Structure 1
Amino acid sequence: MPVVVDLDVMLARRKMPVGEFAAAVGLSPANVAVLKNGRAKAIRFSTLERICEVLGCQPGDILRWEPDGD
């Protein structure tokens, strides 16, 4: 997957449990798991904005691009 979600890294840095994060952002814990595991196909800008607001970070702290191994 070329776009990698580093949400688990940011949660660890902030020492924030998934349940607390999910409630603060307004996502279900299951949807947070989808993001953390890289299974999400899309994310709304409003959700990304709320994630950055809650974690005090920039979108680039959460999302990064990696080239395929082709």
Structure 2
Amino acid sequence: MLLAQRGLSVGAFADAVGITPANVAVLKNGRAKAVRFTTLEAICRTLDCQPGDVLRWVPDEESANG
């Protein structure tokens, strides 16, 4: 959503952050298991946002099941 609001294509965003377009897709689809702080910093710098604007915490299945 922030990409569209900022008028950035996936390719331009990937270049600005320093990751591949495939990794952008992993992040956008919520399939990433971890994000480096340097990558998070670059994302926030590029999108002019805070980490909470692009991340949300979802418990693991085993954590949710006790």
TM-score (norm 1): 0.78
Which portions of structure 1, spanning 4 or more consecutive aligned residues, are displaced by more than 6 angstroms? none
* Structure 2 partner of 1:40: 32
Hey, which of these two has a bigger chunk of helix by percent? 2
Higher RCO, 1 vs 2 (CA within 8 Å, ≥6 residues apart): 1
Matches within 5 A, 1:21-32: 21-32=13-24
Q: CA RMSD in A?
A: 1.8
**Paired residue secondary structure (1:16):** coil
Higher strand share: 1
The higher radius of gyration belongs to 2
Q: C-alpha distance in 2, partners of 1:48/1:31? A: 13
Aligned length: 62
Unaligned runs of 5+ in 2: none
Percent sequence identity is 67
Unmatched 5+ stretches in structure 1: 1-8
TM-score, normalising length from structure 2?
Answer: 0.82
Match of 2:56 in 1: 64
